[in-house]
């Protein structure tokens, strides 16, 4: 059984020049040509619904500290979190609600649209204050996600960046969930390797053999070949095969008596799902994996999703951020039942991260110039193709 692949199947290299990709020189090209030009999801708008609601978000490795705030006109805006006077960080709190922002250094005040409203002892300043509002950053919303683009003028809109395949088709799916227990850790590995470890299914039979030994595949698909895979202009996705013969462990059976099954028991019925969840309507479906280039991966299932960011600190270091997102618990028993998938998701993520540092240090010796991919790892080939294309793009 092979994996059916649709979309941009031409021009893929299954032999990857990993020695070059892990070099410091290549990393600087990635940071400049990819991360400073891509639309990057940086969080959710759950707590940014009312005028004055704000959050502060530092983008690891990019040297950027952002203030995102909902204006009185309802528009969500992003600014560099820096006072125009002498560069002091304007807002220290991570989130909150304010009608204006006063710098703690000299008292300069800005409104929620970024305009400079007050300068202490302004008669002693001899300049036009009207042009000294906060420095804006391009910001847009998609579903519950907040995206920013660090380019002064993005080369494409957010909708164009997402593509028709992803821009529509999720409906209110993400509105139903909220992160449960966020994870954050620093890993001594290249960000590409970290993304790669979560965008292929080939490893699951071995790496997760103890935590989730029979959650995928089954007798008819013992090697867990994927039932659907799609390569888009920049992004990619695939569906994973549930095991119809999965046997629940005792703790799992108890937990899912009181809460919606998440992992490793899956509700495979597609009825009522939006078009982009189980996007190919495969049978015995477990969940979808979507790589939103360059550094965001999310998994969508019935009643849950997982979100993961991979922020590049250097060619050798990555910040991982992630969370399992569930529907809010309706009862205490429901909340207790959710601890089983919370704990399991954490353990599975730890397994996925466990080999990265040793893999990276091994590759960094330079002994291995290339690595080789099979059909089940096509998303990795697509990832590196999009990287090459963005680095080579003009403008």
Q: What whole-number distance in Å separates Cα of residue 128 and Cα of residue 152? A: 23
Domain CATH code at residue 148: 2.102.10.10
The verdict on 28 and 90 lying in the same domain is no
The verdict on 207 and 288 lying in the same domain is yes
pLDDT at 1: 59
Q: Would 160 be classed as within a structural domain?
A: no
pLDDT at residue 204 tops 80:
yes
Domain termination residue (choose one: 118, 153, 188): 153
Check the CA dihedral 243-246-252-253 and report its sign.
Answer: positive
| Neighbouring-strand partners of residue 80 | 66
The verdict on 377 and 253 lying in the same domain is yes
| Neighbouring-strand partners of residue 324 | 306
The verdict on 74 and 24 lying in the same domain is no
Q: Would 161 be classed as within a structural domain?
A: no
pLDDT at 395: 63
The verdict on 201 and 95 lying in the same domain is no
Q: What's the whole-number mean pLDDT along residues 177-188?
A: 92
pLDDT at residue 262 tops 70:
yes
Q: What is the CA radius of gyration of the chain?
A: 23
Domain termination residue (choose one: 93, 122, 153): 153
pLDDT at 368: 96
pLDDT band at 129 (very low <50, low <70, confident <90, very high): confident
The verdict on 321 and 277 lying in the same domain is yes
Q: What's the whole-number mean pLDDT along residues 337-361?
A: 91
Domain termination residue (choose one: 124, 153, 182): 153
What is the SS3 assignment for the chain? CCCCEEECCCCCCCEECHHHHCCHHHHHHHHHHHHCCCCEEEEECCCCCCCCEEEEEEECCCCEEEEEEECCCCCEEEEECCCCCCCCCCCCCCEEECCEEECCCCCCEEECCCCEEECCCHHHCCCCHHHCCCCEEEEEEECCEEEEECCCCCCCCHHHHHCHHHHCCCCCHHHHCEECCCEEEEECCCHHHHHHHCCCCCCHHHHCCCCCCCCECCCCCCCCCCCEEEECCCCEEEEEEECCCCCCCHHHHHHHHHCCCCCCCCCCCCCCCCCCCCCCCCCCEEEEEEEECCCEEEEEECCEEEEEEEEEEECCEEEEEEEEEECCCCCHHHHHHCHHHHHHHHHHHHHHHHCHHHHHHHHCCCCCCCEECCHHHHHHHHHHHHHHHHHHCCC
The verdict on 312 and 264 lying in the same domain is yes
Structural domain containing residue 143: 40-153
Cis, bond preceding 294 (omega within 30 deg of 0):
yes
The pLDDT mean for the chain works out to 94
Taking alpha carbons only, the member of 304, 314, 337, 5 closest to residue 177 is 304
Longest dimension (CA), the chain: 80
Q: What's the whole-number mean pLDDT along residues 3-31?
A: 95
Q: What's the whole-number mean pLDDT along residues 317-324?
A: 96
pLDDT-above-90 percentage for the chain: 85
Q: Would 166 be classed as within a structural domain?
A: no
Tell me if 22 sits within 8 A of 315, measured CB to CB. Answer: yes
Q: Would 220 be classed as within a structural domain?
A: yes
The domain total for the chain is 2
The verdict on 204 and 239 lying in the same domain is yes
Domain CATH code at residue 12: 3.90.380.10
pLDDT band at 149 (very low <50, low <70, confident <90, very high): very high
pLDDT at 246: 92
Q: Would 281 be classed as within a structural domain?
A: yes
Tell me if 71 sits within 8 A of 112, measured CB to CB. Answer: yes
Q: HSE-up of 265 (CA within 13 Å, CB side)? A: 17
Q: Would 163 be classed as within a structural domain?
A: no
Q: Would 175 be classed as within a structural domain?
A: yes
Q: What are the tens digits of pLDDT across the range 213-256?
A: 999 999 999 999 999 999 999 999 999 999 999 999 898 999 99
The verdict on 129 and 209 lying in the same domain is no
The verdict on 309 and 345 lying in the same domain is yes
Tell me if 309 sits within 8 A of 185, measured CB to CB. Answer: no
Beta strands 145-149 and 136-142 are antiparallel
The verdict on 319 and 180 lying in the same domain is yes
The verdict on 218 and 359 lying in the same domain is yes
Q: Would 240 be classed as within a structural domain?
A: yes
């Amino acid at each position: 059984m092979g994996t059916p692949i649709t979309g941009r199947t031409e021009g893929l290299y299954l032999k990857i020049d990993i020695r070059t990709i892990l070099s410091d020189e290549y990393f600087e090209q990635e940071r400049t040509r990819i991360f400073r030009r891509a639309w990057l999801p940086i969080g959710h708008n759950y707590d940014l619904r009312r005028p004055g609601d704000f959050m502060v978000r530092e983008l690891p490795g990019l040297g950027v500290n952002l203030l995102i705030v909902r204006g009185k006109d309802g528009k969500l805006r992003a600014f560099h979190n820096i006072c125009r006077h002498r560069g002091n960080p304007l807002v220290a709190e991570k989130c909150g609600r304010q009608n204006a922002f006063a710098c703690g250094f000299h008292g300069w005040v800005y409104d929620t649209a970024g305009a400079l409203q007050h300068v202490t002892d302004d008669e002693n300043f001899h300049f036009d204050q009207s042009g000294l509002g906060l420095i804006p950053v391009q910001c847009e919303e998609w579903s519950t996600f907040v995206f920013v683009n660090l380019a002064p003028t993005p080369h494409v809109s957010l909708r164009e960046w997402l593509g028709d395949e992803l821009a529509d088709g999720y409906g209110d799916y993400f509105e139903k969930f909220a992160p449960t227990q966020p994870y954050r850790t620093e890993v001594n590995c290249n960000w590409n390797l970290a993304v790669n470890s979560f965008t292929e299914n080939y490893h699951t039979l071995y790496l997760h053999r103890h935590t989730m030994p029979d959650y995928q595949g089954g007798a008819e698909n013992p090697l867990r070949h994927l039932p659907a895979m799609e390569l888009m202009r920049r992004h990619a996705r695939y569906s994973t095969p549930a095991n119809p013969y999965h046997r629940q462990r005792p703790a799992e059976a108890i937990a899912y008596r009181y809460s919606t099954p998440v992992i490793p028991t899956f509700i495979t019925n597609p009825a009522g799902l939006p078009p982009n969840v189980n996007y190919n309507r495969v049978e015995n479906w477990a969940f979808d994996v979507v790589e939103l280039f360059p550094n965001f991966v999310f998994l969508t299932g019935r009643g849950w999703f997982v979100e993961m960011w991979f922020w590049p600190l250097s060619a050798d270091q990555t910040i991982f951020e992630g969370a399992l997102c569930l529907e809010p618990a309706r009862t205490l028993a429901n909340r207790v039942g959710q601890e089983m998938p919370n704990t399991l998701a954490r353990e599975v993520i730890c397994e996925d991260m466990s080999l990265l540092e040793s893999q990276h240090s091994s590759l960094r010796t330079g002994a291995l110039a290339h690595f080789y991919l099979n059909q089940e790892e096509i998303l990795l080939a697509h990832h590196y193709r999009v990287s090459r294309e963005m680095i080579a793009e003009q403008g």
